[in-house]
Structure 1
Amino acid sequence: MTETEVTYPTLTDGDVTVWFEDIGPSRADELLKTYKVDYRKFRPSYAEGLARDMENGNWNFDGSPIRIDIEENLFDGQHRLNAVRKSKTTQRFCVIAGLPVKAYDTTDSGLARTYADSLRRRGYNNVSMRTALIKLIDRWNNGLSLGDTKRRTPPELDAVHNKNMDSINWAISNTVSTSYKVDMPPAMVAFAWWSLGQLDTTDCKTFMVGVAEGENLRKGQPIYTLRERLRNDAEERYTRNEYAHLTFQAWNAFRDSKELTRLQFPSGLVSRDNMAVPR
Structure 2
Amino acid sequence: MGQLPELWSAAGGAPLRVKVLSYNLFWWSLFDHGHPWMQRVYAQTNGNAATQLISAANAQDPFDVMGFQECNDGDWLMKVTGLAAEYGIFRDRACCMAYRKASWTVLAKGVATAAEDPKYGDRPAQWMRLRNLQTGAVVFFLNHHGPIPIDQGGKCGAAAVGYNILQVIAGNARPGDAIVAVGDFNAHQGSATIQQIQRHLYRVFGGTADGGIDHIFSNMGVGAVAATANLGGGGSDHDAISAVLQRGAPPPASQAQAALPISQDVFNAGGSTSDALQSIMQQSPINWLRKQ
Give the structure-2-normalised TM-score. 0.22
Which of 1 and 2 has higher RCO (CA within 8 Å, sep 6+)?
2
Q: Which has the higher helix share?
A: 1
Q: Which has the higher strand share?
A: 2
